[in-house]
Structure 1
Amino acid sequence: MPQPTGPATAPRAPATASSPPSAPPPFPPQSGPPPQEALAPRAPVPPAVSEATRLLCVGVHHDRAFREAVLDELYVHEERFPAPSVGIDAGRVLSHAVRARNHEVGWAGGIVGLWLLGLIVSGGLLALALLGSVGLVVARWIRGSGSADTGVGLVRRAVAFYVRWLSRLYLVYLFFAVVLAALFLGGGTFSGGSGFGPGLSDPLGFARLAAFLTLLVLAGIVACVALRRGQFARVVSEELSPSRFPHAQSDPAETTAGPRLSHLRTRLRAEQHQPLVMYEEDWPFRGFGTPFHTWSLAIELRPRGEAAPVPLDNGEILRRIVPLVEALRVPSPRKDPAAAAAVIDRLRELRLDECVFLPADGLEWRNGAPYAPDAFAAHRAAALEEGGEARRHFLRIRVGGWDEELVVTVFVRVHTQGGMLMAEFAPHVLTPVRRGYRLAEREARRHRALSWPGHIAWALVHTPSSFGDSVRTLGGWLWGELRRAFAGYAGAPAEGPSAAVRELGTDEDLSLFQEMDLDRYLKTIQDRVAGGVRTALREAGWATDEFDQKIIHVANGGVYIDSAKDSAIGIGNDNKISHTPGGKGGGKK
């Protein structure tokens, strides 16, 4: 497994009292090359060890809904092609999703077993506690995950608040009642006078024994809840720590996979980064994020002078664009070579390739996709000039900022037909991984720092809802296994992706710095693409005045970034931007 490059500049230690006033403050490191490699091409961080992959792996341990969505798409539906994994390794996320589910199912089975044991030995006392546990789960369901800004959302939150606290007070009352019963009820002895406790023939003595057994079972449940949380905190803070995560060969999720997971993961890794994109007809760009200022322009091809112009095909125009875009990887000239060596701009990690989109409909089997290099070359050669509808060729330009958390992918397509030139520019943006996953990592480290009374207190607070949560976990696992075994997905005709792992774990908001970087990436790439088209036209003897006017109109539209929340981000004044709620990506104009 290739290792990520080291930081371009080592972080400095904080200034002490004896430090000179000019000592620079510490700053977070950014992955980059050592200075002597500054002018050489620089590869991005490998997807399997990117920060985005690490946070998504944290997410499948922390977020049950996200984990179930990943497993449904990649583990249950074997017939679906995976969406392109931009900047991540979906195979590693899948490995952690399976491992997290196995952990959860194991703990859930133990907790449900203890609850059922308690129902038997407690004489029905624990059945009363189940009512409160179910009430807490119902309160969570009533509250939902929708916005509280609407009237319905406020009502649901108010009802959930009432049900939740009513259940909590009921459980507190029941707990103290059981403790009092265990301490003060009954007398007598076992079997008529052994002196060890209440007599079984005494109703009050039996109630006291049931109370003792109830407390014993509850102690076991509390221990399971505490140990389950401790295991989660250890996995997140140790196995998925920034220092250990890059060493994939020591990741237990990678080394303990069963035969089925190993097979699915191998096939997934062979498909997820292919230049041939097998897409679902309704959402061809699924996996690349939200459409962002997609524009196209058409111009009449007119000779610039008296001489006959050279005919231009699509491939020739793209060949003029490529070197201009590739030049963005090179730092601008500086007086001091050391200053050029220190440049760690993410444009230096820009990736540029050609891709072909093919519809998945019509393929009988998933393994029938033409991924072989010679098959892709044939599709590329045919799609480049044909201008087809279902099969499309694009020049693909990608920049992964913020350790692959902000990913900008620009698709460029040119087509000449009937004396007209059509240029298409289709950027897509993947916003950062959910902030909740980063916060879950902090919470896990904080939890491990608790004293033993703190661990017990945490477990006591979360024990009442443990039965409902465990039943839900076991039900989801059983449902998924039944569907996998009997729904016939493994032998079904091939389908395009229904969801993308990266999009499922995406936040909708950008920080101001990220918005500024996004603006810079897009403006820079757009200018170079336009320059390539202009150069190709001019050198071939075609007039460029109409193209210059239209591209200036696009550029002068300005950039306005308000928020990525609940909508795509608009560039210009007269844009039509489609957005898929929930981060599903893709979109149609």
Structure 2
Amino acid sequence: MPDANPTSRRLASAVHAREDRIGQVKDRIGRWHDRTMDRRRRRIRQLAPRQGDSFARWILKEILTAPKRPVPSFGFSIVPALVHSVAADRIRHVRACALAATAALVVVRHPWGAGALAAAMLLFQLLIAQGRLRRIARWGTRSLVAAALLIAGALIAWGQLEPHLPLVHRALSDLPSAAFWLTALLAGVYACDRWVAFAYVASLSGNRALGAQMRPRFAPGAARRVAACAAAETWQAMPYRREQLVDRFVGASRSAYRNVVRIQLSPAGEATEEAPQEDDATPGLVERTPGAARSGMRKFEADDLLDHVRDELRKLRGHLVESHALPHCDVFEAFAVPDSEWKKLPGAKGTETPDTDGRMAWPEAGEMMDESCLPPSGHFRRRYLAAQVVDWEGDIVVTVFAHAALEGQTLTFVTRPHALAPLHKDVRLEAAHGGELAWKVVQTPVQALGDVAALAHRLYERTGRALGTLRPKKTKEAALRKIAEAFDPHKALDDKAVSLREHCSDDGIADMHQHEDASRHISILQSSMFASASSFLSARGVATDDFRRQAAQFIFVTGDNNQVNTGVLGGAMKQANQTNQSGNEANPKG
């Protein structure tokens, strides 16, 4: 599913977004209405940072060409976004070359008209835009002497210009032709650019097949980097970091919390009288506990406990008789690595030979296997068991990480739920079909004329800034700014792990039903983890009363259903630092 789900397609389509020039004209007309009706002025619509060429450049800089391993994808495939970012960047360069060639062609065919256009823009900038003509006129009307000097200067200028009037007349007569052909050819370039963008977005429609094997055409270097990213995102290393007093796995969610159950290992026969009986215990934890004889404890490792939990979680997949199966449920192991060490991890080269299962050799595989033989304390990189549910066509991704540690006759079982919020509305670019597509194609020439007007406006502004820097004071300030930027320590590359899915997600889950589904999925996964762990401990002769009592604090019993206290999903999640007597190291109510 992740290769072809709508989330993968939307992220790839967002790099081909274009400005809505017709909408901008409507917004400017609406501003006039707002000013007339004394209303708040509306904002002129612009491309968001997560759209268009700027978004494609961000993907290329932070993921494809960054000197760090990409974060594993959660609920989508990163390959389509990388391939289409390379295509969008290539289109940008081709468009720039076509615009420059068009301008050069007009200059060659209509040199006098092109020169008149350039001279008109420079004179407008120097005399009118910067206020020089207004200041000269104001100075010339202050006194008779100033007026006489102004008239004398005008006569001298006319005397210098009069011999060249035939050339001026020739330039002015060629000006309309140059302006027409320049506008028409530039509009043609922009129209072709928009039609190519439509074609790329149409290639990402739901009836087209996508896959992790897609690569950029005629770009061997980019194809190798995409292959390296595709191989690296299948590896099981996961970066984690602390943000705003919250520990979380990068790529799984912007916020998270944890539930901790900590018990002393003791034989089942040594249960105290204060421990709750099985009839009063949480149903979800008792129903999987076998009635084995509690004669004594059998030795086990933390990996044995996680293996049993993994086997029980896998039973939630596939076709179930009693209920619907969890949508796109996956169980895997993750190797938690600090964010500060993420850049040190070796990346894939894109030229390795895959294994028999189609995956590249994972550099940290041996370290992850050796981690189970090490003491649970004293090392940053640790092994986690993860259960993931992808729902709402990839919009909601729930992942629960579990870790177990045996130390000092004490078992510590930790769960860390994460929930990815839906994609931001800026990234939800869908391919047009039928009448909508035909209408967009018809509108393209008008949109292209708007692109030409926007290009002229940008050129006009940049010319004004360039002329402003010609002043001695401005030139000195610009030179000092360039020197400061060259030695700016803050311009160093960011070593932190970056997740494309988190970068394009909302701050939280706003929809009521999506929030309810995410809470239910976390409830099911955590209930299964706690119940499986309790069943494993009971089968090994360990007293589970304290375990069930602590786990019950994370579970609300409603009728015959168990609902884990998932707190507030999304951006409102909080993580407390207080520790109560039962071993709960987080505030489950958020």
Give TM-score, length-normalised by structure 1: 0.64
CA change 1:458–1:317 in 2 (3 A) is same
Indicate yes or no: 2:456 matched with 1:462: no
Give the aligned partner of residue 266 of structure 2.
Answer: 302
Indicate yes or no: 2:540 matched with 1:540: yes
SS of 1:111's equivalent in the other structure is helix
Partners of 2:69 and 2:346 within 8 A in 1 = no
SS of 1:290's equivalent in the other structure is coil
CA change 1:514–1:131 in 2 (3 A) is farther
Indicate yes or no: 2:40 matched with 1:48: no
Larger radius of gyration: 2
Partners of 1:559 and 1:570 within 8 A in 2 = no
Give the aligned partner of residue 434 of structure 1.
Answer: 424
Aligned partner of 2:224 among 260, 263, 267: 263
Indicate yes or no: 2:377 matched with 1:406: no
CA change 1:75–1:314 in 2 (3 A) is same
**Structure 1: how far apart are the matches of 2:437 and 2:572?**
37
Mapping 1:366-385, distance limit 5 Å? 366=347, 372=361, 376-377=365-366, 379-383=368-372
Mean CA deviation greater in 358-367 or 266-275: 358-367
Partners of 1:301 and 1:542 within 8 A in 2 = yes
Indicate yes or no: 2:214 matched with 1:222: no
Give the aligned partner of residue 274 of structure 1.
Answer: 235
SS of 2:300's equivalent in the other structure is coil
C-alpha offsets along residues 493-526 of structure 1, whole Å, 9 cap, x if unaligned?
A: x997631222222233533222121011100011
**Structure 1: how far apart are the matches of 2:226 and 2:336?**
23
CA change 1:208–1:403 in 2 (3 A) is same
Mapping 1:55-204, distance limit 5 Å? 55-62=10-17, 63=51, 64-77=53-66, 79-114=67-102, 121-125=113-117, 201=166, 203-204=168-169
Q: CA deviation at 1:100?
A: 0.6
Cα RMSD of the aligned pairs, angstroms, is: 4.2
C-alpha offsets along residues 517-542 of structure 1, whole Å, 9 cap, x if unaligned?
A: 10111000110111012112222222
Kindly provide the amino acid, as one letter, of the partner of residue 219 in structure 2.
G
Partners of 1:558 and 1:573 within 8 A in 2 = no
Partners of 1:303 and 1:542 within 8 A in 2 = yes
Partners of 2:312 and 2:528 within 8 A in 1 = yes
CA change 1:543–1:559 in 2 (3 A) is closer
CA change 1:281–1:72 in 2 (3 A) is farther
Q: How many residues align?
A: 433
Partners of 2:64 and 2:229 within 8 A in 1 = no
Give the aligned partner of residue 3 of structure 1.
Answer: none
Q: CA deviation at 1:571?
A: 9.7
Partners of 2:335 and 2:381 within 8 A in 1 = yes
CA change 1:361–1:433 in 2 (3 A) is closer
CA change 1:455–1:358 in 2 (3 A) is closer
C-alpha offsets along residues 220-274 of structure 1, whole Å, 9 cap, x if unaligned?
A: 122222221222122212x11111143788x7xx351411112112221221111
**Structure 2: how far apart are the matches of 1:323 and 1:241?**
37
C-alpha offsets along residues 407-446 of structure 1, whole Å, 9 cap, x if unaligned?
A: 1111100111112211111122222233323345449983
CA change 1:329–1:48 in 2 (3 A) is closer
Give TM-score, length-normalised by structure 2: 0.63
Structure 1 gap ranges (5+):
1-44, 134-198, 335-339, 473-493, 579-588
Q: CA deviation at 1:383?
A: 3.4
Q: CA deviation at 1:471?
A: 12
CA change 1:445–1:229 in 2 (3 A) is farther
Mapping 1:415-564, distance limit 5 Å? 415-439=405-429, 441-442=431-432, 446=436, 448-450=438-440, 452=442, 454-466=443-455, 498-510=497-509, 511-556=511-556, 559=565, 564=570
**Structure 2: how far apart are the matches of 1:372 and 1:54?**
28
SS of 2:115's equivalent in the other structure is coil
C-alpha offsets along residues 366-392 of structure 1, whole Å, 9 cap, x if unaligned?
A: 459997369615532433653143120
C-alpha offsets along residues 462-495 of structure 1, whole Å, 9 cap, x if unaligned?
A: 32223577999xxxxxxxxxxxxxxxxxxxxx99
SS of 1:507's equivalent in the other structure is coil
**Structure 1: how far apart are the matches of 2:55 and 2:408?**
49
**Structure 2: how far apart are the matches of 1:113 and 1:446?**
33
Aligned partner of 2:205 among 241, 256, 269: 241
**Identity across aligned pairs (percent)?**
20
CA change 1:375–1:433 in 2 (3 A) is closer
Q: CA deviation at 1:98?
A: 0.6
**Structure 2: how far apart are the matches of 1:131 and 1:200?**
17
C-alpha offsets along residues 382-409 of structure 1, whole Å, 9 cap, x if unaligned?
A: 3365314312011111111122232111
CA change 1:112–1:513 in 2 (3 A) is farther
C-alpha offsets along residues 323-347 of structure 1, whole Å, 9 cap, x if unaligned?
A: 321221254435xxxxx7xx5x5x1
Partners of 1:86 and 1:288 within 8 A in 2 = yes
Indicate yes or no: 2:172 matched with 1:207: yes
Q: CA deviation at 1:447?
A: 5.3
Give the aligned partner of residue 329 of structure 1.
Answer: 317
Structure 2 gap ranges (5+):
18-50, 126-163, 271-294, 353-358, 462-492, 557-562, 579-584
Kindly provide the amino acid, as one letter, of the partner of residue 498 in structure 1.
A
Q: CA deviation at 1:56?
A: 1.0
Mean CA deviation greater in 287-296 or 399-408: 287-296
Kindly provide the amino acid, as one letter, of the partner of residue 537 in structure 1.
L
Aligned partner of 1:394 among 381, 384, 388: 384
Q: CA deviation at 1:108?
A: 2.5
Mean CA deviation greater in 568-577 or 520-529: 568-577
CA change 1:378–1:231 in 2 (3 A) is closer
CA change 1:523–1:245 in 2 (3 A) is same
Q: CA deviation at 1:201?
A: 2.4
Partners of 2:424 and 2:504 within 8 A in 1 = yes
C-alpha offsets along residues 265-305 of structure 1, whole Å, 9 cap, x if unaligned?
A: 22212211112446789987222222333222322223221
**Structure 2: how far apart are the matches of 1:448 and 1:519?**
42
Q: CA deviation at 1:84?
A: 0.7
Aligned partner of 1:354 among 325, 333, 346: 333
Partners of 2:229 and 2:348 within 8 A in 1 = no
Kindly provide the amino acid, as one letter, of the partner of residue 388 in structure 2.
R
C-alpha offsets along residues 68-124 of structure 1, whole Å, 9 cap, x if unaligned?
A: 2210123332x3111112233323321110111110221133224545766864334
